[in-house]
Amino acid sequence: MASADGTVVLAAAGVRKRFGSLVVLDGVDLTVRADEAIGIVGPNGAGKTTLLNVLAGALRPSGGHVFLREVDVTAASAAKRCRMGIGRAHQIPRPFGDMTVFENVFVGAATGGRLGKKAAYSRCIDVLERCNLIDLANRRAESLGLLHRKRLELARALATGPDVLLLDEIGAGLTDAEAAELIETIREIRRQKIAVVWIEHIVHVLVQVVARLVCMDAGRVIADGEPDVVMKDSAVIDAFLGSEVA
């Protein structure tokens, strides 16, 4: 893939993660360039969310390194990485239920944004508009339905002003129309020059946004390339559906 801005924004090098005797990440290398949107697929238990946790700083790897713009952040906390430019949206949105949509997003802007109050306010407005939440800005978060919760989760991550956005299964459970809206929102984010790493089981949604697909299985990257090629790779199909021959 040709890159207009081929700078590496985020990289995992030989990342390993064990939980007790269980090896969940077994030497993962991943390079994310500043202009890239990458999809990560893989069967259950492949290590996708664990990789995202290691990239975001929620988990320390058992081995290997994470680099953010060539700075080794392996030992940096999630909060620090957030301030350094890693935004993250979780699979299960957990907004502050008692707070309004705006306040939730403001927490993101204030935490990760390194902004003054006024600048943080205007970033919140901007993010809420981009995520189609502006009309709900004064609603309490707990009153939101699933689609809007997912959008709020995305908005909170965006409000931290990330250079790279990590998304964990934000498409699950959406209707077709809702998924189409989500795709449009992510495309809009891409136009803001934010790199995206997106874990998603719903492959046909993913491939509408990403130009590169990484498939993981048993803690390893087993394929990495153009979505069409990766999804036809027999090792990838075998990882999901079992091998064709006994």
Partner 1 sequence: MLLEVQALEARHGLLQAVRDVSLKVAEGETLALVGANGAGKTTLLRTIAGGHRAAAGRVLFDGTDVTRSSAHKRVRMGIALVPEGRHLFPRLTVDENLRVAGGNGRKGPWSLDAVYAAFPNLEPLRRHRAGTLSGGEQQATAIGRALMTNPRLLLVDEASLGLSPVAVDGVYRSLQTVIESGATIILVEQDLRRAMKVATRISCMLEGRIVLEGTPSELTREAVVDAYFGLREAGTSQATA
Candidates 71, 146, 229, 235; binder of partner 1 (CB under 8 A) is: 146
Q: Answer yes or no whether residue 22 interacts with partner 1 by CB under 8 A.
A: no
Closest CB 212 distance from partner 1, rounded Å: 16
Q: Which stretch binds partner 1 (CB under 8 A): 50-58, 97-105, 145-153, 154-162?
A: 145-153
Pick the closer one to partner 1 by CB: 2 or 246: 246
Binding mask 76-115 for partner 1 (x = CB under 8 A): ----------------------------------------
Closest CB 73 distance from partner 1, rounded Å: 30
Pick the closer one to partner 1 by CB: 20 or 145: 145
Pick the closer one to partner 1 by CB: 93 or 108: 93
Which residues, including other chains, have CB under 8 Å from residue 208's CB and lie 6 or more apart?
A: 183
Q: Report the C-alpha gap between 207 and 172 in whole angstroms.
A: 15
Q: Which stretch binds partner 1 (CB under 8 A): 73-81, 122-130, 144-152, 160-168?
A: 144-152
196-235: contacts with partner 1 (CB under 8 A): 201-204, 207, 231
Total residues contacting partner 1 (rule CB under 8 A)?
24
List the 195-199 sheet strands across, edge first: 86-89, 164-168, 195-199, 37-41, 212-217, 220-225
Pick the closer one to partner 1 by CB: 40 or 231: 231
Closest CB 130 distance from partner 1, rounded Å: 23
Q: Answer yes or no whether residue 243 interacts with partner 1 by CB under 8 A.
A: yes
Helix pair angle (117-130, 176-191), 10° resolution? 140
Closest CB 127 distance from partner 1, rounded Å: 22
148-177: contacts with partner 1 (CB under 8 A): 149, 169, 172-173, 175-176
Q: Which residues contact partner 1 (rule: CB under 8 A)? A: 43-44, 145-146, 149, 169, 172-173, 175-176, 201-204, 207, 231, 237, 240-246
